[in-house]
Amino acid sequence: MKLSQINSCVIIPTFNNEKTLAKVVEGVLVYSSSDDVIVVNDGSTDSTAKILAGFGDRIISIGHPKNAGRGFALRKGLKEAINRGFENAITIDSDGQHFPEDIPLFIETAMENPGALLMGSRNMEQEDVPGKSSFGNKFSNFWFKFETGIDLPDTQTGFRMYPLEPLKKIKLFTTKFETEIEVIVKMAWRDVQIIPIPVKVIYDMEERVSHFRPFQDFARISVLNTYLVTLAMIYYLPRRIYRKGLLKIIKEEAFKSNESNFVKSASIGFGFFMGIVPIWGFQLMIGIPLAILFRMNKVLFIAAANISIPPMIPPILFVSYLIGGLFVENPIEFTSLNELSLMAIHYNFIQYCVGAIIFAIIMGTIGFIISLRLYSLFRKRKYNV
């Protein structure tokens, strides 16, 4: 199959990947017709320029003298593709982790789903995948779902096929690794269909050179997600809830078939626990990474953690003080919610903390047991999990 069948090009951003670049370009050229392989040299200081010169007019080589970032190179390649009149652009990393032989999968899927954004989905559980890559991908997947409502198995893959028409109307602001997150979120907000495609992946530590800087780039991604979450909360999330309905969204997660009854029940129980435990303002900041780490259902966790919404805070404080009074000396005794005050809370904070922790454990356990019982009664016949 050839790229011309879907009027597509391949974009290869590269920076100091001299060990793997030639092999990747040769693999891509198998599916090329003419003038549809664009390599963007992002200011490489190794032998990249010499390698690209060796391909002559078989490729379109563009770039800039200084390294400007993966996102900048990607945007430059996409702009070149648009200017040349392509309708689609496949991007592939130059570090050798992807297999150009998977390109026909993109071509076939694009022919069946014109206008869709195709995401090469790697198996992040295989043995040679670095732990930081696997965790980072799960973290990114969660925030992408929070921002868009779409569940994707691999949001950090560099092996993709972009429909170029929607990109003409999208403004991108980032220039580093976070650009690949920004672009798919904004395409999702424009209702572009997103389809994951299983692809092969290999991590050869002897040849592969990664330029991802864990602290700097993770910080950039976090800043971007803060910006995107803010936009989602103000406009896109309310729009999605209005279109679909909050209860329908939660119901879909509650009965999603790819998770066990235990995982779903644990997610609900953990949500109750984190909603009550005395770390007000930090429940989700701490709970969400833990939910990702332990592979819980994040939507069910957040829904359950909202047990601490403002109308429920006074009862939670009251019960926490009652329980805490059983375990501390000289406890303050309350007979009604009306007796709670900021002064009373301040002078009896230890009583509250002890009681809240115990109350959180009790409610988390109760939430888990009741949820597991209900799932075992109503879900086992309909779902094979």
Q: What sign for the dihedral angle of Cα 224, 229, 232, 233?
A: negative
Whether this prediction's pTM lies above 0.75 is answered by: no
Q: Where are the alpha helices (DSSP H) in 245-282?
A: 246-254, 261-276
Burial (CB < 10 A; 0-12, 13-18, 19+), residue 256, is middle
Secondary structure class of 161 (helix, strand, coil): strand
Helix (H, G, I), strand (E, B) or coil at 62: strand
For 231, counting Cβ atoms within 10 Å of its Cβ (0-12 exposed, 13-18 middle, 19+ buried), the class is middle
Domain ranges of the chain: 3-231, 251-378
Backbone angles phi and psi of 194, in degrees to 5: -120, 125
Sequence-ordered strand ranges (E) for the chain? 8-14, 37-42, 60-64, 88-91, 117-121, 160-163, 194-198
- Plot region of 159 (φ>0 → left; ψ -120 to 50 → alpha; else → beta): beta
Question: For domain 3-231, which CATH number applies: 3.90.550.10, 3.40.630.30, 3.40.50.300, 1.25.40.10?
Answer: 3.90.550.10
CA distance 88 to 110: 9
Check if the beta carbon of residue 204 is closer than 8 Å to that of residue 118.
no
Rounded Cα distance, 28 and 38, in Å: 10
7: left (phi over 0), alpha (psi -120 to 50) or beta: left
End-to-end CA distance of the chain: 38
Beta bridge partners of 12: 39
| Per-residue confidence in pLDDT tens, the chain, 385 aa | 899 999 999 999 999 999 999 999 999 999 998 799 999 999 999 999 999 999 999 999 999 899 999 999 999 999 999 999 999 999 999 999 999 999 999 999 999 999 999 999 998 776 656 555 666 788 888 889 888 988 899 999 999 999 999 999 999 999 888 999 999 999 999 999 999 999 998 876 565 556 555 557 677 888 888 888 888 878 887 777 666 666 777 777 777 777 899 999 999 999 999 999 998 878 888 988 898 888 898 889 988 998 988 778 888 888 988 898 898 887 777 656 565 555 556 567 888 899 999 999 999 999 999 999 999 888 764 444 3
Nearest to 200 by CA among 101, 274, 309: 101
